[in-house]
């Protein structure tokens, strides 16, 4: 039997320098429960080091936490990578870290906190996570797929770090699994602006950097169970699975 699941597949934690320090594992889980969201993906900039803490914080909460990352490609395009298990996310992380340069200056960019499931600080990440990797967008999407993940172009309506803003268009050959539209663009305006990309499935997420942004812009998925395999089917509109995205 198929059921609707409210999802939020683009959530930052305190590991992202631009995210609020209060985006800690337990606080995120608390807000996700309050917003009655069933499935979230943790997608920090170029790192998955807070994923397992959020998964542990959510262990008995009845929500599904999918491990993910928001990769910044060489072209400065943001791509969401979403996986079933943290081993795949960490495999992408090691590939990303190999191609990421620079050291964070917390005064300029903000703190990068690796936390545990009790919301305690484990350490501060020193790599400059906010920078662009040296991975091309094609390499990024290919690597995500090799690791069994979904590759979703993030906030395609944003001028900065959106695929259309950076490249001018979405390359025909790029095998993206979905396109994400931010709350800046209404459904009507998205239909007009992105009509030529109708072969893709569109989703909406909040790209939450603050607790009060969680669930503000979410997507409902019709699934048999809350898993990545089912989400993939819904994005492909297979076997009755589907997606309903709207600004709430
Ligand atoms: Zn982004
Ligand atoms: Zn983001």
How far away, in angstroms, is 1 Cα from ligand 1 center?
Answer: 35
Where helices occur in the chain by DSSP H, the ranges are 25-34, 51-57, 86-98, 106-109, 137-146, 163-167, 187-193, 228-235
How far away, in angstroms, is 79 Cα from ligand 2 center?
Answer: 9
How far away, in angstroms, is 196 Cα from ligand 1 center?
Answer: 22
What is the pTM for the complete model shown?
A: 0.97
Q: Rounded to whole angstroms, what are the CA distances from 57 to 25, 94, 116, 140?
A: 6, 24, 8, 29
How far away, in angstroms, is 74 Cα from ligand 1 center?
Answer: 14
Question: Which sign, positive or negative, has the C-alpha torsion 31, 223, 189, 155?
Answer: positive
How far away, in angstroms, is 85 Cα from ligand 1 center?
Answer: 22
Question: Which sign, positive or negative, has the C-alpha torsion 196, 221, 20, 111?
Answer: negative
How far away, in angstroms, is 241 Cα from ligand 1 center?
Answer: 27
Burial of 46 (0-12, 13-18, 19+ CB in 10 A): buried
How far away, in angstroms, is 16 Cα from ligand 1 center?
Answer: 11
Fold of 3-247: TIM Barrel (3.20.20)
For residue 245, name the pLDDT band (cuts at 50, 70, 90).
Answer: confident
Cα–Cα distance, 42 to 25 (Å, whole number)? 10
What local confidence, expressed as pLDDT, does residue 77 receive?
A: 98
* 248, pLDDT greater than 80: no
How far away, in angstroms, is 72 Cα from ligand 1 center?
Answer: 8
Relative to the alpha carbon of 158, which ligand is closest? 1
Secondary-structure percent of the chain, ordered helix, strand, coil, rounded to 5: 30, 25, 45
Q: Note the pLDDT tens digit of each residue in 91-122.
A: 999 999 999 999 999 999 999 999 999 999 99
**DSSP characters for 185-246?**
S-HHHHHHHTGGGTTSPEEE---BSSGGGTTSEEEEEEESSSSHHHHHHHHTT-TT-EEEEE
* 247, pLDDT greater than 70: no
Name the residue ranges covered by the structural domains of the chain.
Answer: 3-247
For residue 48, the number of C-alpha atoms closer than 13 Å in the C-beta half-sphere is 27
How far away, in angstroms, is 239 Cα from ligand 1 center?
Answer: 31
Q: Beta strands 121-124 and 150-153: pairing type? A: unpaired
Torsion of CA 170, 172, 177, 179, to 10 degrees: 20
Contact 177, 210 (CB under 8 A): no
Q: Note the pLDDT tens digit of each residue in 47-63.
A: 999 999 999 999 999 99
Q: Which two tokens stand for residue 240?
A: 């009755």
How far away, in angstroms, is 209 Cα from ligand 2 center?
Answer: 8
How far away, in angstroms, is 176 Cα from ligand 1 center?
Answer: 16
Relative to the alpha carbon of 160, which ligand is closest? 1
* 246, pLDDT greater than 90: no
How far away, in angstroms, is 61 Cα from ligand 2 center?
Answer: 24
CB atoms within 10 A of CB 197: 17
How far away, in angstroms, is 78 Cα from ligand 2 center?
Answer: 8
């Amino acid at each position: 039997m198929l059921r609707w699941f409210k999802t939020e597949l683009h959530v930052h934690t305190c590991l992202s320098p631009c995210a609020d320090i209060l985006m800690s594992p337990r606080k995120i889980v608390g807000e996700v429960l309050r917003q009655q969201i069933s499935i979230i993906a943790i997608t920090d900039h170029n790192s998955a080091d807070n994923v397992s803490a959020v998964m542990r914080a959510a262990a008995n909460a009845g929500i599904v936490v999918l491990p993910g990352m928001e990769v910044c490609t060489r072209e400065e395009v943001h791509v969401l990578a979403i996986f079933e298990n943290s081993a795949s996310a960490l495999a992408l992380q090691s590939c990303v870290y190999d191609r990421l340069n620079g050291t964070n200056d917390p005064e300029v960019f903000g703190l990068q906190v690796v936390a545990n499931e009790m919301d305690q600080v484990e350490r501060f990440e020193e790599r400059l996570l906010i920078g662009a990797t040296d991975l091309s967008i094609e390499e990024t999407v290919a690597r995500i797929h090799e690791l069994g993940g979904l590759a979703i172009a993030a906030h395609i309506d944003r001028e900065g770090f959106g695929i259309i803003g950076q490249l001018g268009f979405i390359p025909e050959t790029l095998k993206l699994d979905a396109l994400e539209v931010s709350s800046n663009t209404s459904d009507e305006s998205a239909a007009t602006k992105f009509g030529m990309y109708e072969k893709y499935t569109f989703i909406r997420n909040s790209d939450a950097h603050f607790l009060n942004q969680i669930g503000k812009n979410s997507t409902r998925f019709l699934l048999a169970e809350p898993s990545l395999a089912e989400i993939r089917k819904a994005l492909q509109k297979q076997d009755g699975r589907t997606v309903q995205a709207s600004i709430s």
